[in-house]
Amino acid sequence: MSVRNLEPKAVWNHFEDLNAVPRASKKEEKVRQFMKDFGSRLGLETLEDEIGNVIIKKPATAGMENRETVIMQSHLDMVHQKNSTTKFDFDTEGIRSFIDGDWVKAEGTTLGADNGMGVASIMAILESTDIPHPAIEALFTIDEETGMTGALNLDGSLLEGKILLNLDTEDDDELCIGCAGGIDTNSEMEVRMEPTPEGYTGIKLSLTGLTGGHSGMDIILGRANANKIMNRFVLDLYDNHGARIVEIDGGSLRNAIPRESFVTLAIPISEAEKIHDSVADYFEEIYAEYETTDPEMSIEIEDCLCPEQIVSLDDQNKIINAIYSIYNGVYKMSAQIEGLVETSSSLARVIVKEGWFKTQSLQRSSVESSKMDIANTIRAALEAVGSNVQQGGDYPGWAPNASSPILKETEEIYKKLFNEEPKVQACHAGLECGILGDRVPGLDMISFGPTIKAPHSPDERVNIKSVQKFWTYLLEVLKNIPSKN
């Protein structure tokens, strides 16, 4: 069965159309044009602000003219990540989705359900001729995944709506009323390279198959971080066998838990056989720690030509110590909301190449002071070894409003439709609502969506039945938008 034949067909067909368009963060030219062409084809007012956000406006259907205008919002960009064995060009190829039981997945890449399902649902509403709804301002933001620059630079004067439906959460039984803010902490340090001593050869370690996932939503699950795990191997091989760093390439995206790390080392020829055994033995110990969360984790060691240069011993120690010192994982749980991560940090990227040591990490928190505390903790660890640290991409969280009128309305609709209470929660991810609330003052906001698992990884998948549930719920919410005051 084709994904296009799934119900609701309008949503799935728009999702497949969208997935045929390359849409990496900061490379949204094609998908922006795709969306502008879509709005124009429907004869709807279609705008683009200076930064590149696309807005499509649709009048209310008959009988709904006196209802409040609704801003329906999702982001156009998606995380582009693939397995190391997958041959795929994100710049030119469309995502290849398929049905696997109750889920839709992609062949060896991220699926783009985050936030493609939201975009596709809004497109289906805009194209519909028989769905009752108030006046709609469809807001498609850009670059959500790598800095939220679309939301941060939104021209709020183009919008008149007072209610915001953000369709970017990942559990179909949840209504989200708050989220974490974030800040990037990046560093670089020049390292001294020196000639490789005689009697050395080269090896390459490849750590792959880790589960990965969203570094906000999934950080509480305790999954292995490839950068931190590989650093343990490097220290072990240095302490016991005299291994020296040549190159490191770990992680890929700032907002994803690193799934892979690759390291080239120079080792004494006399230790080569022992090192092969040592890596295998040490991997068994580490695998026992993460067997539940990362069952597909594996490490391979292969011989390579002896490198001409290695990192100086002093700088190697600084690199190893810095990676060990960078906090990774849950930093603090919320005291107000049970089970919610308040503050976290993820070491997303580690690079040692051509005489430079570079890192990228992302700190998140629903409390501004705690966010800066963990960010400064990471800064201190890196500056202690002499790295130059840059912090940027700072964006605010979204403070929960338990007395929100749209929350009360959507709660009641959920209970009537599904005969159960929704989970009203804040999430440890960077939704755009906090920023949009600053750009369009007075917004009453709620966020919901279908069930999506493992976003930001090639294991990303969306539940088919939850899309049907989400669509039914969305239509009912639109039908019950309150009248203007």
Q: Is residue 344 in a domain?
A: yes
If asked whether residues 314 and 454 sit together in one domain, one would say no
Give me the pLDDT at residue 335, please.
Answer: 87
Nearest to 119 by CA among 239, 15, 241: 15
Q: 253: which 2 tokens?
A: 């995206």
Task: State mean pLDDT over 220-224.
Answer: 97
Distance CA 81, CA 296 (A): 17
pLDDT at 223 over 90: yes
Give me the pLDDT at residue 187, please.
Answer: 98
Q: Percent of the chain, pLDDT > 70?
A: 100
Give me the pLDDT at residue 393, please.
Answer: 87
Q: Is residue 484 in a domain?
A: no
If asked whether residues 240 and 374 sit together in one domain, one would say yes
Distance CA 147, CA 182 (A): 9
If asked whether residues 225 and 273 sit together in one domain, one would say yes
SS3 278: helix
If asked whether residues 87 and 171 sit together in one domain, one would say yes
Distance of CA 211 to the CA centre of its chain: 14
If asked whether residues 350 and 240 sit together in one domain, one would say yes
CB < 8 Å & 24+ apart, contacts of 276-282: 276/301, 278/236, 278/237, 278/240, 278/241, 279/205, 279/233, 279/237, 282/232, 282/233, 282/236
- The residue out of 348, 368, 395 marking a domain boundary is 395
pLDDT tier at 166 (50, 70, 90 boundaries)?
A: very high
- The residue out of 351, 366, 395 marking a domain boundary is 395
Q: What CATH number corresponds to the domain at position 80?
A: 3.40.630.10
Give me the pLDDT at residue 40, please.
Answer: 98
Is there a catalytic annotation at residue 281? no
- The residue out of 336, 365, 395 marking a domain boundary is 395
Q: Is residue 165 in a domain?
A: yes
Write out the DSSP string of 451-468.
Answer: -EESTTSTT-EEEHHHHH
* 146: containing domain: 3-180+397-479
Give me the pLDDT at residue 210, please.
Answer: 96
pLDDT at 430 over 90: no
If asked whether residues 248 and 342 sit together in one domain, one would say yes
If asked whether residues 171 and 192 sit together in one domain, one would say no
Q: Is residue 485 in a domain?
A: no
Is there a catalytic annotation at residue 77? yes
pLDDT tier at 142 (50, 70, 90 boundaries)?
A: very high
Distance CA 184, CA 345 (A): 10
pLDDT at 41 over 80: yes
Q: What residue spans of 128-225 are helical by DSSP H? A: 149-152
pLDDT tier at 253 (50, 70, 90 boundaries)?
A: confident
If asked whether residues 238 and 134 sit together in one domain, one would say no
Q: Rounded mean pLDDT of the chain?
A: 96
CA distances from 379 to 147, 171, 258, 345 (A): 19, 34, 20, 12
If asked whether residues 166 and 197 sit together in one domain, one would say no
If asked whether residues 314 and 441 sit together in one domain, one would say no
Nearest to 323 by CA among 292, 289, 353, 357: 357
pLDDT at 485 over 80: no
pLDDT digits (tens, 9 = 90+) for 370-412: 999 999 999 999 999 999 999 998 988 898 888 999 999 999 9
Give me the pLDDT at residue 138, please.
Answer: 98
Q: What CATH number corresponds to the domain at position 316?
A: 3.30.70.360
Q: Which helix (H) or strand (E) holds 55?
A: strand 54-58
Q: Is residue 343 in a domain?
A: yes
Out of 49, 68, 77, 236, the active site residue is 77
How many domains does the chain divide into?
A: 2
Give me the pLDDT at residue 68, please.
Answer: 97
Task: State mean pLDDT over 185-198.
Answer: 97
pLDDT at 317 over 80: yes
If asked whether residues 320 and 176 sit together in one domain, one would say no
pLDDT tier at 429 (50, 70, 90 boundaries)?
A: confident
Q: Is residue 155 in a domain?
A: yes
Out of 28, 68, 143, 144, the active site residue is 144
Strands 163-166 and 444-447: parallel
For 19, other C-beta atoms within 10 Å of its C-beta total: 21
Task: State mean pLDDT over 441-452.
Answer: 96
Q: Is residue 354 in a domain?
A: yes
Give me the pLDDT at residue 463, please.
Answer: 98
Q: Is residue 10 in a domain?
A: yes
If asked whether residues 37 and 163 sit together in one domain, one would say yes
Nearest to 175 by CA among 410, 453, 470: 410
Give me the pLDDT at residue 332, please.
Answer: 96
Task: State mean pLDDT over 347-366.
Answer: 97
